[in-house]
Amino acid sequence: MTPTGLILFAHGARDPRWARPFEAVAERVRAARPDVAVSLAFLEFMPPDLPAAGRELAGRGCRRIAVLPMFLGAGGHVRRDLPLLVERVRAENPGIRVDLHEAVGEIDAVVAAMAAAAAGLLGEPAP
């Protein structure tokens, strides 16, 4: 079996509490997929950045790395900045397959979960 890594890529913030939901996602993925090496990476303000996370997973023997942008939509960071960072990870880690996936907020199951959460906040509909 080829070792696989997953990088959850988020924006980052100056307040470390901002990362808690992403850390929770990473922990849930680790629990559900113990065969996958999971790392968080951030665009700015927080370590590690994407190239550092790629090097870390490569150092753990990963031969394939999936990058999942933890953004609700594909704005400028996902369209412009992230592809350049992914190319840097590829250049620094020859022989490792690096796949860039769509923003998590554009995945149908995530959209459905957000809609269900929003509808659930409203309680039961009036008769």
Is the separation of the CB atoms in 65 and 89 below 8 Å?
yes
Give me the pLDDT at residue 53, please: 98
Residues 6+ apart with CB under 8 A from 35: 1, 4
Q: pTM for this one? A: 0.92
Give me the pLDDT at residue 96, please: 97
Q: Which residue has the tokens 């039961």?
A: 124
Per-10-residue mean pLDDT, the chain, length 127: 88 96 98 97 97 97 97 87 96 97 96 95 82
Is the separation of the CB atoms in 11 and 72 below 8 Å?
no
Residue type (1 letter), 56: E
> Which fold does the domain 4-121 belong to in CATH?
Rossmann fold (3.40.50)
- The domain limits of the chain are 4-121
